[in-house]
Amino acid sequence: METRSTDKRVWTWVSEDGKHAAAGMNMGPGIGMKPGGGGEEQPYDGHGRYLGTAGQGGVSGGVSGGSEVRGKVTKPSEWRGPVQQRDEEAKKVPTTVAWKNAEEEHGLKPQMQGAVQSMRRDVSQLDSVLISSGRREPLGAGDPHADGRAVDISRINGIPVAGLESSNAPGADRAREAARNLEAWAKGDPNVNQFIGPKGGWNKDADGYPTPMDPAKQKMLLDGHKDHIHINVYRK
């Protein structure tokens, strides 16, 4: 489909499938020549407006293809400005949370429930998690799971936490990035006070700063978290 301006010199063309376009200008005889961009002589019309520099193979100092420009068409509805694109990227699909034992979802303390919701909403690249343990019978003295203050994550984006760092499964790179984002989120979440996983763990000190666990002094605890990520919240 071709259209022309009212003075018949400027024209545009768009293919029927909307994928290609062209635009051009019929220079015409013009009125005269005078110095333009770069000091080069350019034709001008009766109103003193430049018409451009016509050449056999292109426009001098301009684009190739003479006075014709071609390119892919972007429909107005598909165009996204910087603000719109930023807002769209900021919209995160909430993480899907599945429970290995559904009954263990019940009885979590409000601060643990809040942490799970924050994780679903704020951790980028995190598409899904499988929580293998929530509130359960105590496995030892002071077990935060028995108090409803901890959850264990055994899968991230469908990939087992055990061996995640070396996994070649489809989506493993995204899952590894999600795991790193998960830890970064935990460090910044005011409810979380402990994070342990295959790569180590930390506790927040009295000022809320993460303090790494000692691999020698806390070896048994760290060895018990090679196949899952443990997230613990403060007692309130």
CB atoms near residue 140 (< 10 Å): 7
Could you report the per-residue pLDDT of 39-83, keeping only the tens digit for each? 666 666 655 555 554 443 333 344 334 444 444 444 444 444 555
Residue 229 · residue 192 · CB < 8 Å: no
User: Cα separation of 177 and 40, whole Å?
Assistant: 54
86: DSSP letter: H
Closest residue by Cα to residue 55 from 44, 45, 67, 43: 67
Q: Collect all residues with Cβ–Cβ distance below 8 Å to 114 and sequence separation of at least 6.
A: 191
Give the pLDDT score at 162: 97
Q: How confident is the model at residue 236 (pLDDT cuts 50, 70, 90)?
A: confident
- Rounded to two decimals, the pTM is 0.62
For the chain, the average pLDDT equals 79
The two structure tokens encoding residue 58: 């292109």
